[in-house]
Amino acid sequence: MAGKSFANKFKSTSLITVVSISLVLFILGLLALILIDAQKITRDVKENADIEVFLYNNTKDADVAKLQKMLDASDYVKSTAFISKDSAAKQLQSVDKEDFIGLLGYNPLPASINIHVKAEFANSDSLVKIEKKLAHYPQVKEVVYQKSLIKMMNENLKKITFIMLGFSLLLLIVSLTLINNTIRLTVYSKRFLIKTMQLVGATQGFIRRPFMWKGVRNGFLASIIALLMIFGVIHMAQSQLPDLTEMNDVDTSFILVGTVVGLGIILSGLSTYFAMRRYLRLRSDDLHF
């Protein structure tokens, strides 16, 4: 009966440990997902910053096509779009609601190529260099982009990034403390067993091995539970906001799974190791404190 009672107590302790770790990993996993999606959003915001390259009116179609092809091949270009004089006029008329062509008797707007640069080039220094390169093309009359807006955008994105990283670091420290304390309490409940094994001559490696294995196993099980909860939350969020489906692709899922499982195994394993090291060094007189 005593053995059965001990086994039930042992299983109950393990279950509490797994549930506690899974809740912490659930929070860390959601934070990791937010950081991954925030990085994508940041990239998309940067790549929405565009450069307008206005062309001379006498530029031939073949020269325009040649220039656009050269730009598409450039390492800093994500995409380009040619806007003809007529298209530019229609866009302006849809905004101003005025027939300025009928008023002037001609279309004064030049054709242009709209360039979306890659995220890593969407900063003031890189854009100045790109502007100089574009100005050297004979077809190009003028290069225009919103310098102040791009500068402000990058500054705000940096601030948001630092705030999120600071919050993530704080949450990681809190999570480490919670996992460490949970596992230390689990090992603490078995301190008499550990000391008894030492007294009968068991080596530290022999004593530590089953605890380490159980710690790693608990971390893995906790990560699986945490992932089920995270993907449940993602599914519910996507059912309410279908646009979120585009953000959470296969690559994101793989990164999320690897992060949560890795954190579960590593944190649980390390916490078990350090807790075991403490109680293996504990004197018999200190077992009751």
For the whole model, what pTM was predicted?
0.66
Q: 252, 36 in Cβ contact below 8 A?
A: yes
pLDDT in tens, 231-257: 898 888 777 776 666 666 777 888 889
What's the pLDDT at 6?
A: 45
Residue 144, strand partner residues: 52
pLDDT at 49: 79
Per-residue pLDDT, 1: 46
Predicted confidence band of residue 223 (pLDDT cuts 50, 70, 90)? very high
Q: How confident is the model at residue 225 (pLDDT cuts 50, 70, 90)?
A: very high
pLDDT tens-digit series, residues 33-43: 888 888 887 88
Over range 65-76, report the average pLDDT: 91
pLDDT score, position 3? 46
CA 33/CA 252 separation, integer angstroms: 8
Tell me the C-alpha distance between 13 and 193, whole Å.
15
Band (15; pLDDT cuts 50, 70, 90)? confident
Per-residue pLDDT, 206 = 78
| Domains of the chain with bracketed CATH | 2-44+154-286 (no CATH), 50-145 (3.30.70.3040)
Whether residue 284 has pLDDT greater than 60: no
Whether 202 contacts 4, CB under 8 Å: no
* Alpha-carbon gap, residue 52 to 81, rounded angstroms: 10
Mean local confidence (pLDDT), 192-217: 79
Q: Per-residue pLDDT for 224 more than 90? A: yes
- Upper half-sphere CA count for residue 79 (Cβ side, 13 Å): 5
Give residue 227's pLDDT: 93
Structure tokens at 51: 């450069």
- Residue 2's pLDDT is 43
Does the pLDDT at position 16 exceed 70? yes
Q: Does residue 7 carry a pLDDT above 60? A: no
Mean pLDDT of the chain: 80
State the pLDDT confidence band at 272, using cuts at 50, 70 and 90: confident
Token pair 């849809």: residue: 94
Give every CB contact of residue 40 below 8 A, 6+ residues apart in sequence. Answer: 247
% of the chain exceeding 70 in pLDDT: 84
Residue-level pLDDT at 43 = 82
* Average pLDDT over every residue of 187-206: 75
Among 43-57, 90-104, 181-195, the least confident range: 90-104
Surface-to-core class of residue 195, CB atoms within 10 Å of its CB (0-12 exposed, 13-18 middle, 19+ buried): middle
